[in-house]
């Protein structure tokens, strides 16, 4: 089976902003994500997680190596072609203008026909299905800045679904969500993976959330893959302590039996 995402020895360096400042580099990263898989990416700040999201969504081009989406090198694809395969759910969006939920979700149809000025009936139907599937159809006429953080995230998820992508790329989905919305988000992602057959790459600071949802995890540290594998293999005390530089205790979730991480707080 062709992997949906394949990174072959991918490297990336940001241009050095000033002499002496260490520009972050992603080094020699190889990985494969299979169709239908939920793939979690974890790692400390500055380990390259956000860079990986930008590379996979072709906002950045790798300075070395190749990224293939369904066997096609993204360097050979246009932005719109990538956007028909890969949809990104950002942490949040700026709200300078009073766009409605439906307008925002319809923006997800842009890559289908970037030259078109108006959306078609099909576009509107796709947007409606997307809003329906994440439960925001009733909010379609509401302005974004009137919504809660959890509602806004579901709207952004609907926009991504309206792209009808094969890969859903989530950047810190739980960053601004309280517990209830985190639970909702987890349920929604599981359902999308199972029912819609979507492949999901999930970048998260939240180790418990990532371990709970992911089939496999990638632990990034210092711009390189430290370990890839099933959660039980990656969420390991020695491995995490080496990556994060602090002491942790790994336990099992009493219900799901997935690994959970407790931080061992240093004593004053």
Partner 1 sequence: MSTDGPVSAGRLAVLLAGLGLMVALVALGALFLGSARVPPRDVLAVLTGHVKGVDQVVVLSLRLPRILAALLAGGALAVAGAGFQALTRNPLAEPSVLGVSSGAAFGVIVAQVFGLGSGLVDAVGLAACAFAGALVAGAGVYLIASRAGGMPVHTLLLAGVIVGIFFSSAITVLISVVDFDRLGGVVHWLLGNLGPIAPSGLAVFAVLAALGCWLVIGQARSLNLLALGEESAEQLGVDAEALKRRIFAGAALLTAAVVAFVGPIGFVGLIVPQALRMMLGADNRVVIPTALLGGGAFLLLADTLARNLIAPAELSVGVITAFCGAPFFIYLLRSRAPDVAP
Region for 156 from its dihedrals, namely left if φ exceeds 0, alpha if ψ lies in -120 to 50, beta otherwise: alpha
Our finding on whether 15 is near partner 1 (CB under 8 A) is no
Our finding on whether 262 is near partner 1 (CB under 8 A) is no
The helix/strand/coil state of 220 is: strand
Structure tokens at 241: 């302590």
Separation between Cα atoms, residue 143 and residue 174, nearest integer Å: 22
Our finding on whether 141 is near partner 1 (CB under 8 A) is yes
Contact string 154-193 vs partner 1 (x = CB under 8 A): ---------x------------------------------
Tell the smallest beta-carbon distance from residue 94 to partner 1 (Å).
Answer: 4
C-alpha closest to that of 246 among 211, 207, 212, 215: 207
Our finding on whether 129 is near partner 1 (CB under 8 A) is no
Tell the smallest beta-carbon distance from residue 53 to partner 1 (Å).
Answer: 9
Separation between Cα atoms, residue 112 and residue 85, nearest integer Å: 10
Question: With CB under 8 A as the contact rule, which of the stretches 4-12, 28-36, 96-104, 176-184 interacts with partner 1?
Answer: 96-104
Our finding on whether 97 is near partner 1 (CB under 8 A) is yes
CB-nearer residue toward partner 1: 15 or 254:
15
Our finding on whether 83 is near partner 1 (CB under 8 A) is yes
Name 41's Cβ contacts closer than 8 Å, sequence gap at least 6.
Answer: 49, 52, 201, 202, 203, 204, 210, 217, 218, 220
- Using the structure block, give the residue that is written with the tokens 């959890």: 150
Residues in binding contact with partner 1, number by CB under 8 A: 41
Binder among 73, 122, 145, 251 for partner 1 (CB under 8 A) = 145
Binder among 28, 70, 103, 232 for partner 1 (CB under 8 A) = 103
> CB-based burial of residue 29 (10 Å sphere; 0-12 exposed, 13-18 middle, 19+ buried)?
buried
Binder among 108, 173, 223, 231 for partner 1 (CB under 8 A) = 108
CB-nearer residue toward partner 1: 162 or 234:
162
Contact string 40-59 vs partner 1 (x = CB under 8 A): --------------x--xxx
Tell the smallest beta-carbon distance from residue 137 to partner 1 (Å).
Answer: 13
Q: How far is CA 44 from CA 50, 174, 229, 244, in A?
A: 11, 16, 18, 6
Strand positions, DSSP E, the chain: 5-13, 25-33, 38-42, 64-69, 72-73, 86-89, 167-171, 199-203, 216-221, 224-229, 248-252, 259-263
CB-nearer residue toward partner 1: 20 or 94:
94
DSSP conformational letter for 266: P
Our finding on whether 201 is near partner 1 (CB under 8 A) is no
Separation between Cα atoms, residue 85 and residue 82, nearest integer Å: 5
Our finding on whether 85 is near partner 1 (CB under 8 A) is no
Where does this chain bind partner 1 (CB under 8 A)? 17, 54, 57-59, 78-83, 86-88, 90, 93-100, 102-104, 106-108, 110-111, 114, 116-119, 124, 141, 143, 145, 163
């Amino acid at each position: 089976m062709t992997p949906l995402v394949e990174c072959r020895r991918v490297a990336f360096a940001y241009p050095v902003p000033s002499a002496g400042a260490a520009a972050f580099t992603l080094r020699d990263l190889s990985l494969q994500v299979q169709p239908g898989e939920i793939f979690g990416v974890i790692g400390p700040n500055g380990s390259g997680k956000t860079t990986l999201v930008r590379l996979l969504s072709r906002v950045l081009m790798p300075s070395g190596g190749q990224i293939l989406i369904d066997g096609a090198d993204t360097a050979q694809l246009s932005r719109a072609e990538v956007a028909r395969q890969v949809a990104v759910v950002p942490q949040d969006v700026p709200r300078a203008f009073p766009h409605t939920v439906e307008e925002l979700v319809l923006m997800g149809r842009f890559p289908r026909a970037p030259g078109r000025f108006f959306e078609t009936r099909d576009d509107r139907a796709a947007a409606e299905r997307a809003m329906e599937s994440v439960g925001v159809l009733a909010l379609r006429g509401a302005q974004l800045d009137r919504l809660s953080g959890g509602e806004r995230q579901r709207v952004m998820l609907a926009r991504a679904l309206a792209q009808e992508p094969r890969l859903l790329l989530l950047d810190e989905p739980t960053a601004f969500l309280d517990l209830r919305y985190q639970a909702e988000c987890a349920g929604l992602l599981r359902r999308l993976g199972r029912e819609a057959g979507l492949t999901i790459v999930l970048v998260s600071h939240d180790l418990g959330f990532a371990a709970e949802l992911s089939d496999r995890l990638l632990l990034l540290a210092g711009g390189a893959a430290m370990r890839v594998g099933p959660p039980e293999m990656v969420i390991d005390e020695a491995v995490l302590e080496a990556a994060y530089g602090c002491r942790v205790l790994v336990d099992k979730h009493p219900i799901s039996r997935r690994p959970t991480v407790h931080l061992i707080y240093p004593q004053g």
